[in-house]
Each structure stands twice: as C-alpha cells, then as structure tokens.
Structure 1
C-alpha cells in the first residue's frame, strides 16, 4: 500500500532534501523517524530535491507499507518525534503506482527579497540594498514564457534527460515590505529558480537588458546567466497532482 505524506520544513539546518553522505538532510530525518514509528525500515521518495538551506511550505513524499495504517495516528506520532523544523500536515492513501516526484504536474516556488536590513528577516529573505526596477524585472519575467529550454539556468553537472520546462507563472509582487518572485512550472532544473532570480536582479539593477536575457536563454550556457542567489530565501510553496493518483477515485 502506498501513502503520501504532506509536510513542510525550515531548511536552515539541512543540506537539502535528498540523502547524501556526511550531511544531514530532510529525507534522512524523515525516514529515520517514520521507521521508528512503524517499527520497520521505511524509505521515502520526495516530490523534489531542494538545495541546502531552501525551505518548503508544502512538499509531498511517498512510502510503502504492507498493511493499512491509521493515518492520523501515524501523523501525530511523527510530529511528536520529528524536530521542530519539520512538520507533518497529513498522511493519506494513494494509488499503488502513484509517485510523489513523477506524477507532480505543477510546482511553485517563491523567492523573498527585502531592500532594508532587518534583524528578524535576514535568515529567511535576501537583502538587496540597491534600488530595483521592479517593472523592468516583471517585463523580463514574461520573456520566460517564450521558451522551454532552460539549460542556461541549470547546474552543469546534472543527470536530467531534458532541459525543457513549461513555465506557467513568473512575476514579482510586493507583499508589505517584501518583494516576492513567484514561479510555477511543470518541473524545474537543479538551481534553476535561484539562477533565474539572479539574472532578473541583474535586469532590475540596470546591468542587463531584456534583449540580453533572450541571448542568455538562447545560448544554453550557464556561465552566461546571472549568479545564483542564496538558498535561504527560497521556498517550495506548492506541488499539484492529478486526481487520478488518489485512492478510491
């Protein structure tokens, strides 16, 4: 039987989602806690591989068990066992072939920027002290809709089968004193969002033109794009699935 876990986490203390040698990850902590609760070795598969320091306000993972479980009870026990920076929202049954990563049809991220130094936000936002032309940054963000190949924003050493992504949304909005970049797509490449934000900031600072962004994307060369912004201000905010994966539908 296959179950999905919906969870959120503060990524500050973790080297990303995925298990890796000599570094603590969210996946490792979740697997150890779930194995203790269910009293058997459990492996989980996540919807995405967030980088070190990146947060998730919504992410899903799946795991398999031989017998039906009390979902609410297991969620309660997990929350009691997990550290404070990982929270379980719910556990629910899905079709046995449902896959947390491959069946996701849309993912959304937010990147948060402040322009004034703030003693209470520095761990969760990126401070840019220079003036930004947000209108020009939004104009540039629309350029992303015109393309599907985003190799220029991907880490060079990656094992993806394609660099194509369909972007559904990309825009900047002020929320109180925070400038938030929201981007949604069917899939994302490694480091893609942070590289896109870094490049759009170059436009907002007047260092890069709209035409220059077109040239960067067409080049398919990571070295042509802007510097990746820090991960601590990036949030995975939503993952969507088709109704067909849910059990009983």
Structure 2
C-alpha cells in the first residue's frame, strides 16, 4: 500500500466544517467521495485540522492509503476533475509510511481577516469579520506581543475542547493593515485549542475598540478564565494557511 499526502485549499462557506458528520455536507466527505469514485473503492482520508463551519483553508493537509498505480503527483489533477470548484487539491505526493497528517505536524499558521469599515462588504461578506468602529492598530500590536511564548491558554478555549493540557506556544503574532480596510491577524504556534485563534482575534478586536486595555492581556492569560477574554470572532474570517512538519 502507498500513502498519498494532499495539500488542500477550500472556501468553507458552503460546508459544515472539515470533519464528516451525519446529514450535512463537509469538506472531508466531499473529497473522500471524489477519491473513492476515482479509484473505484471506498477510501477514507485523515486531515490535520478539523476546521469549523465556514472556516477556509489555503494549506489543509490530509493523507490516504491506496494500492493504485497512479503517480503520486498526478492524484491532484485526477481528483480535482471530480471536485466542486470551491475545493482544490493544490499538491499531491507519495510519502513514507510513517507520515501522519495530524500526528506528524509540528505547528500551524492561521490568518484572521477583519473588515474594518462603517459599511459591510459584499465581496468579503463570507471571508472576513465586519467591524464598524475604527480599530486602533497600534494598541492591537502592543497587545499581540503578550501572546507570544508558552502559556496556559485556558482563557482562550471554547467549551467543548477535549485536551489533556491547555498549554500551547505561540511563535509569532503579527497584525497588519492591508488595503481596502482589511486588518490581517497572523498567528503561528505549535498547536491551538478549540476556537483559540478566533478568541485571540476577538480579544484583539476588543483591544482595538478600547474595551480591553492592551496591558490587560497577561492578566487575562494568567486568570485561565474564558469570561475575561473577548468574544469568539466569527468563523468566516479564519483561514488555515500552513501546517509545518
């Protein structure tokens, strides 16, 4: 048997997240059906990140095993012919037997987009978080520095997460004002708790609005209290950019 690694890009607007669930359409199920149709037998795929409803990805990683003779780098072309236009296999390759899309990962990079304008955007409606009040970028940048390093991020985890430890390390957190009133929040770390990136984004938005002081962030982290942090920012602004191995 051969193991095939996939790099996947998708617009999550029309899907109920990544993971297969009953009675709803998911990204994983859609790809599995395409591969199974291509190979003529039922094939399951394992993804690295279980993105939520409406979350997008530029660099989701998944793998599957097969005895097919199709060259590893040709799977992307064959599978894409059977996928809807909002899911694309950007790269495929044969990897070693010990590779695992989830357990071999060393870190992830996410991007969160805020559309900061008095009026909503028709184009960015399903691709960003619309915030009307003008945000103070410099305050958000100052707050961002406090997240970097290894901390117990229990205050930045939604209920429903099942992990043995809430300690994670953030390697970088960068905030940049883009053109067309877009604010980009980019965070890289060794792993993230359930909704952690969206809660960090929501907290930084509160800082930008003046509802939370930038220098309160260490106190919020140390409190381990979810109610002290900002709200969970909407899913449509979140993008899984890259997974490191």
Per the alignment, residue 237 of structure 1 pairs with: 241
- Alignment partners' CA distance in 2, 1:96 and 1:68: 16
Structure 1 range deviating more: 57-66 or 156-165: 156-165
Structure 1 position 149 matched with structure 2 position 152: yes
Deviations 1:70-92 (A, max 9, x none): 23443222111111110011210
**2:209 alignment partner, one of 197, 205, 209:** 205
Cα displacement string for residues 110-147 of structure 1 (whole angstroms, at most 9, x for unaligned residues): 11112223222222121111011111101101001144
Provide the residue aligned with 1:133 in structure 2: 136
1:22 alignment partner in structure 2: 23
Q: Which runs of 5+ in 1 are unaligned?
A: 242-249
Distance in 1 separating the partners of 2:151 and 2:23: 36
User: What TM-score results when the alignment is normalised by the length of structure 2?
Assistant: 0.94
Where does residue 217 of structure 1 map in the other structure?
221
1:68, distance to aligned residue in structure 2 (A): 4.1
Query: How is 1:36-55 mapped onto 2 (pairs within 5 angstroms)?
Result: 36-55=37-56
Task: List aligned pairs for 1:116-127, cutoff 5 A.
Answer: 116=117, 117-127=120-130
Deviations 1:162-195 (A, max 9, x none): 2121111102101212110000011111101100
What 5-or-longer segments of structure 2 have no aligned partner?
A: none
Residue equivalent to 1:91: 92
CA RMSD between the two structures? 1.4
Query: How big is each residue's C-alpha offset from its partner over 1:14-53, in whole Å with a ceiling of 9 and x where there is no partner?
Result: 1111112222111111111111111111111111111110
Match in the other structure for 1:74? 75
Deviation at 1:211?
A: 3.6
- Count, aligned residues: 241
Map of 1:56-75 to 2, 5 A cutoff?
56-75=57-76
CA separation in 1, counterparts of 2:161 and 2:122?
Answer: 36
Deviating runs (4+, > 3 A) in structure 1?
none
Please list the CA deviations of residues 175-223 of structure 1 after superposition, one character each: whole Å capped at 9, or x if unmatched.
2121100000111111011000111111111111134222221121222
Partner SS, residue 81 of structure 1? coil
User: Is 2:181 the counterpart of 1:181?
Assistant: no
SS at match of 1:215: helix
Q: Which position in structure 1 is the counterpart of 2:196?
A: 192
Conserved 8 A contact 1:152-1:224: yes
Return the offset for 1:151. Answer: 1.2
My pick for the range that moved more, 172-181 or 117-126, is 117-126
